[in-house]
Amino acid sequence: MIKINENYLKLKSSYLFSDIAKKVAAFQEQNKDREVIKLGIGDVTMPLPDSCIEAFHKAVDEMKSAATFKGYGPEQGYAFLREAIAENDFKTRGVNISAGEIFVSDGSKCDTGNIQELFSNDIKIAIPDPVYPVYVDTNVMAGRTGISENGRYGKLVYLESTEKNNFVPAPPAGDVDLIYLCFPNNPTGATATKEELAAWVKYAKEKKALILFDAAYVSFIRDENLPQSIYEIEGADEVAIEFRSFSKNAGFTGTRCAFTVVPDKVAAYDSEGNAHKLKDLWNRRHTTKFNGVSYPVQKAAEAVYSQKGAKEVRALTDFYLENAKIIKTEMTKNGYTCFGGENAPYIWIKSDLGSWEFFDMLLNKAGVVCTPGAGFGKCGEGYVRISAFNSRENVIKAMEKISRL
Ligand code: PLP
């Protein structure tokens, strides 16, 4: 008899975005003449930059001639892209990450979800609350979390991210082995300072723990004092893996390209206490289960680092940041307390209502869709997330509708 992995039964049954979609569909069914503006899901709305499209086309054309055709590429990514990443994302920030420590993939969702395969099942995991749900759910599937009671899995350590700590949790008092951090944060839009990250690096070194640092939204950082990579903190290259994506900077959400940095020095330990390079383990996993991102997509991603591409990416992220500014300004004028939205494309909005009531109110009265904070964890209750990924016209219209309430 074929049996299931029963850990899947421990997943919380409903999925946030499908619940939202159901509510929106029901509203539209009952209000056929009313317009609905979606400021919920974090997908980009602007097309790929011209320089990416040009490189993409050119690479596709290379596929039609035997002389330039590409079959399987290196699973870790082509050297041209890995070198461009090392040079532009790290060397320019004074960070010494080499091309050999970079693994190109088809998304940070897959990488942040798959990385847990490298670790033992009896490790203690710290996860922020609220949080991007992939970190929790992939550990539930692997059987590391126990069951969920009152919205919390028994074996996880929750790092509460609240107004009190500016949505940046400090290291816990006790021991944990694996720590997920995400800055700029989804959903709160919070950013972490060098000092705050340094406290985590110090903790990880003391405890022989590992930090998984998700920097999917790094391109929205405008404050020069904020670190862009965890490797700007001394010693982080011994205790941290960093995830980056082309999804939110260059609009690759549908094109798919990302990368993970596993520095040479990062180690994890076997049951006898012997250290093993995580880079070697990830390389083994990656080459066994993944066959590389397509050549044209990697060429399109490389174009992000050309002079023209960099300017286009800056303009794209500036555009969304201007949307964020409009949302934050208008919602603040409307009497709401707002967080994030300055070095991040998300605005985290506090309300006296529960987050689903707040969601229902905005949908039913203004026809605006947001994301209820409670869907990201217990500490998200009382908040909603509004996303800046939309057209200017829709953002302005949505704010006008909410202001009229
Ligand atoms: N990490 C965070 C924090 C995200 O919010 C998202 C997408 O919304 C991702 C990773 C996924 O990125 P990708 O499109 O590269 O899979």
DSSP string, 79-95: HHHHHHHIIIIIGGGT-
Tell me: the pLDDT tens digits for 113-146?
999 999 999 999 999 999 999 999 999 999 999 9
Tell me: the pLDDT tens digits for 56-68?
999 999 999 999 9
Residue 1 lies in a domain: no
CB of 214 closer than 6 A to ligand 1? Answer: yes
Q: pTM surpassing 0.85?
A: yes
Q: Residues 72, 101: one domain? A: yes
CB of 244 closer than 6 A to ligand 1? Answer: no
Tell me: the pLDDT tens digits for 207-224?
999 999 999 999 999 999
Residue 393 lies in a domain: yes
CB of 188 closer than 6 A to ligand 1? Answer: no
Region 298-312: what's the mean pLDDT? 98
pLDDT at 17: 81
pLDDT band at residue 14 under the 50/70/90 scheme: low
pLDDT at 405: 87
CB of 185 closer than 6 A to ligand 1? Answer: no
Q: Which residues pair with 213 in a beta bridge?
A: 181, 242
How far is 86 from 82, CA to CA, in rounded Å?
A: 6
How many of the other CB atoms lie within 10 Å of CB of 130?
27
The SS3 of residue 350 is strand
Q: Which residues form the domain of 312?
A: 6-47+308-403
CB of 119 closer than 6 A to ligand 1? Answer: no
Residue 334 Cα to ligand 1 midpoint, Å, equals 30
Q: Residues 280, 334: one domain? A: no
Mean pLDDT of the chain: 96
Q: Residues 41, 90: one domain? A: no
How many domains is the chain partitioned into structurally?
2
Q: Residues 30, 153: one domain? A: no
Residue 285 lies in a domain: yes
CB of 259 closer than 6 A to ligand 1? Answer: no
Q: Residues 39, 137: one domain? A: no
pLDDT band at residue 27 under the 50/70/90 scheme: very high
Residue 248 Cα to ligand 1 midpoint, Å, equals 8
Check: CB of residue 211 under 8 Å from CB of residue 239: yes
Q: Residues 315, 299: one domain? A: no
pLDDT at 391: 96
Tell me: the pLDDT tens digits for 171-183?
999 999 999 999 9
Strand 37-38 and strand 368-369: pairing?
parallel
Residue 65 lies in a domain: yes
> Please, is 361 exposed, middle or buried when counting C-beta atoms within 10 Å of its C-beta (0-12, 13-18, 19+)?
middle
Residue 245 Cα to ligand 1 midpoint, Å, equals 7
pLDDT at 42: 86
Nearest CA to ligand 1 atom 5: 186
CATH assignment of the domain containing 178? 3.40.640.10
Residues 6+ apart with CB under 8 A from 113: 134, 137, 138
Residues 6+ apart with CB under 8 A from 33: none
Provide the phi-psi class of 47: left if phi over 0, else alpha when psi is between -120 and 50, else beta: beta
